[in-house]
Structure 1
Amino acid sequence: MVTTNDIPGYRITQVLGEVMGLTVRSTDFGQSFTGAFRSLGGGEIPEYTKVMYESRQEVMARMWGEAQQRGANAIIAMRFDTGSIGNFSEVCAYGTAVVVEPVGAAATPA
């Protein structure tokens, strides 16, 4: 999984299309209460940072699962997009599922 349009040392043999992973999350009552209290003083709010980090990991896993179902062994041009819906955080990861092979490997018929 890379954010670039190619992978050094590999060539793309098939493009299988766009794949994505999506999650919408909220914090639990304790996290929201603690986070709101911490926001009064400014600075990082670890409760929200944890939710966003976990969200990124989840959407990457979902995207990778979709890519594997299509027969991909790599994802190129991977990006994140975030937004909010009310008090909820949306995180989306998307990219292009591809099949790659090392440069110099014998080509296999499609």
Structure 2
Amino acid sequence: MDFKTTNTVDATEVWLTGRLEFTDHDRLRDIVELVEQSHARRFVIDMSKLDFIDSAGLGMLLILQEETESRNIKMIVRHPQGDVKRSIDLARLGEIITIES
């Protein structure tokens, strides 16, 4: 998985590309650091270019949700597509995380 970020006045946005899987656990730390450093009210994860997510990747989303929630930051997962959207739907993450199609 690769990612890039931008910061606006009220949001930190992260664009994920490639595959989010178990081997990306170290990269998760980099994203958690973004949450820790953020002064924004929203943390947006754009998945429109993410091709695949495994169960560890779904778990990483839950970790990010906990991190943002503990800092009173609203996390939004934006534009999951194809198999990524199906995996998120099957895991019923929409009950915990805000998903924008």
TM-score range, shorter chain: under 0.3
Mark the structure with the bigger radius of gyration. Answer: 1
Q: Name the one with the larger helix percent.
A: 2
The alignment's TM-score, normalised by the length of structure 2, stands at: 0.27
| Larger RCO (CA under 8 A, 6+ residues apart) | 1
